[in-house]
């Protein structure tokens, strides 16, 4: 096991904190991200329907295969166009 | 090899917590992901490198150098060394870095304000004395530019300590509207090769031959060009035209400035028998203007002095507001102006700081 020495004042947890979810989805665009597993699309169809019922904006994204991490262009597109992401992990 | 063995057997002497790397982690990317960098790559702080950095000072790793703003976290010599590794310093730079940090932490340097301000400023580091040559600092060609490791990394390490230990990050406590490239690093040595020139350290009360670091709250670099004037009086008035522009031509008695005098400009003064005192006095006087020319509201411009100062001769600077430093390559009738932070209205509350470098 190798390690680096922490250059900070060590006042925050050593594990990186997750980005806080938004307090409300009102006015935000939610990305629905299909990771390429079987029936991901069905799951996202349902999520999309539910969010639309609440009057929320959604956009669909997908990566070509679940065997690889998402291409940089796809991640940049999500970061540019959406404020929150739902990732479909269903099988 | 010795350092590798030391890291293996003495690594546990370090007390900073370990950030473990997974097998596939790229250490450079981990430093970025954890927010330890100023946007440029840093050297990953391994035990081996930190121990090697600590060999550059006799001070104990656990000694507390001070509390770093904005969050006033305690900073040990070990934390200084870790950030020096990140910045790319060599161990022999540690005495300069430690002195620079101590200077920055003097209350009159107002490091918290320098960091938090919406203005362009950050600490500018000027080194005097024999240590500058010993560690290979640049004071000649391109002294304010890129390419010299000591210049580049000492200034960078100081800013990384504020970022990492103090928690001063852009968009958080650092509220700079635009910032400046000098916030990465602006650190150089004064050219002391001409014995006719009184070094900055001596002007600031230190004995000749003593190594010092002077910290100034400012940014850089503004060009001053005069290739035609050949008299010291004319050259001073010419400098004055550029100096009054700092911040805004009608803003007065708020910013200090460093004038980095190039060899070719200095020669004009030297040939006339002028030294530091004559030059600083002439530059100050060249920036005194009739109040009525810089009144607020003239030509529809809001900036300016109050109407009751119309009959006054209004100086741009406080009497101690200009510091002249010699640096630069042999060719070019160019000098540089490093404008100071505008918060200097009360000159006793906010001052440059000079400290001796103890090896």
Contacts of B33 in chain A (CB under 8 A): 16
The percentage of chain B sitting over the pLDDT mark of 70, rounded to a whole number, equals 99
CB B96 within 8 A of CB B135: yes
pLDDT for res B343: 80
pLDDT band at A90 (very low <50, low <70, confident <90, very high): low
pLDDT band at A18 (very low <50, low <70, confident <90, very high): confident
What pLDDT, in 10s, does the model give residues B298-326? 999 999 999 999 999 999 999 999 999 99
Distance from CA of B162 to the nearest CA of A (A): 10
Nearest to A5 among B33, B45, B160 (CB): B45
Q: In this complex, do A3 and B18 lie within 8 Å of one another by their Cβ atoms?
A: yes
Mutation site, B34, B46, B50, interface A, largest A CB count within 10 A: B34
Q: Using the predicted structure, report yes or no on whether residue B133 has a pLDDT greater than 90.
A: yes
Distance from CA of A52 to the nearest CA of B (A): 34
Domain extents in chain A: 29-88
Domain extents in chain B: 220-339
Distance from CA of A68 to the nearest CA of B (A): 15
CB B239 within 8 A of CB B283: yes
Pick B347 or B178 by higher pLDDT: B178
Q: In this complex, do B21 and A6 lie within 8 Å of one another by their Cβ atoms?
A: no
Strand partners, A88: A34
Q: Using the predicted structure, report yes or no on whether residue B11 has a pLDDT greater than 70.
A: no
Q: In this complex, do A16 and B34 lie within 8 Å of one another by their Cβ atoms?
A: yes
Contacts of A9 in chain B (CB under 8 A): 68, 71, 73-75, 79, 164-167
ipTM score of complex: 0.90
pLDDT for res B58: 97
Contacts of A8 in chain B (CB under 8 A): 36, 164-165, 167
CB B344 within 8 A of CB B228: no
What pLDDT, in 10s, does the model give residues B31-46? 999 999 999 999 999 9
Average pLDDT, rounded, for chain B = 95
pLDDT for res A8: 96
Which of B188-224 are b and which e, b meaning 16 or more Cβ less than 10 Å from the residue's Cβ? bbbbbeeeebebbbbbeebeeebbbbbbbbbbbbeeb
CB B324 within 8 A of CB B330: no
- Pairing label, strands B18-21, A2-5: antiparallel
pLDDT band at B1 (very low <50, low <70, confident <90, very high): low
For domain B220-339, give its CATH number from 3.40.50, 3.30.2320, 3.40.1000, 2.60.40: 3.30.2320
Query: What's the average model confidence in pLDDT over A25-38?
Result: 91
């Amino acid at each position: 096991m190798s390690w680096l020495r922490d250059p900070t004042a060590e006042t925050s947890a050593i594990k990186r904190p997750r980005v806080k979810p938004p307090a409300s989805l009102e006015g935000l665009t939610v990305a629905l991200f299909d990771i390429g597993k079987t029936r991901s699309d069905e799951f996202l169809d349902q999520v999309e329907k539910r969010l639309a019922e609440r009057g929320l904006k959604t956009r669909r994204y997908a990566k070509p295969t679940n065997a690889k991490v998402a291409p940089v262009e796809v991640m940049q597109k999500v970061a540019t166009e959406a404020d929150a992401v739902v990732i479909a992990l269903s099988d | 090899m010795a350092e590798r063995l030391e890291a293996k057997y003495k690594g546990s002497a370090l007390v900073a917590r370990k950030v473990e790397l997974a097998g596939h982690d790229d250490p450079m990317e981990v430093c970025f992901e954890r927010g330890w960098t100023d946007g440029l790559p840093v050297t990953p702080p391994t035990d081996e490198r930190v121990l090697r950095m600590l060999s550059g000072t006799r001070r104990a790793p656990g000694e507390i150098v001070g509390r770093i703003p904005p969050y006033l976290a305690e900073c040990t010599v070990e934390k200084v060394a870790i950030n020096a590794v990140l910045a790319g310093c060599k161990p022999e730079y540690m005495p300069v870095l430690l002195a620079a940090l101590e200077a920055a932490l003097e209350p009159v340097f107002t490091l918290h304000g320098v960091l938090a301000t919406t203005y362009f400023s950050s600490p500018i580091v000027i080194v005097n004395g024999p240590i500058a040559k010993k560690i290979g600092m640049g004071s000649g060609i391109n002294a304010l530019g890129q390419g010299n490791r000591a210049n580049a990394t000492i200034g960078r390490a100081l800013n990384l300590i504020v970022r990492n230990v103090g928690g001063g990050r852009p968009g958080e406590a650092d509220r700079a509207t635009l910032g400046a490239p000098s916030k990465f690093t602006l650190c150089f040595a004064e050219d002391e090769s001409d014995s006719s020139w009184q070094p900055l350290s001596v002007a600031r009360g230190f004995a000749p031959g003593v190594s010092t670091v002077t910290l100034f709250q400012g940014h850089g670099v503004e060009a001053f060009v005069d290739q035609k004037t050949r008299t010291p009086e004319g050259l001073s008035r010419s400098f004055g035209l550029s100096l009054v522009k700092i911040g805004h031509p009608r803003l007065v008695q708020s910013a200090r400035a460093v004038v980095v005098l190039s060899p070719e400009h200095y020669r004009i003064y030297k040939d006339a028998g002028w030294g530091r005192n004559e030059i600083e006095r002439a530059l100050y006087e060249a920036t005194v203007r009739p109040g009525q020319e810089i009144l607020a509201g003239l030509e529809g411009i809001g900036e300016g002095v109050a109407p009751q100062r119309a009959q006054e001769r209004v100086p741009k600077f406080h009497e101690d507001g200009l510091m002249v430093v010699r640096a630069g390559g042999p060719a070019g009738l160019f000098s540089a102006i490093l404008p100071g932070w505008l918060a200097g209205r009360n000159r006793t509350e906010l001052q440059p700081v000079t400290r001796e470098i103890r090896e």
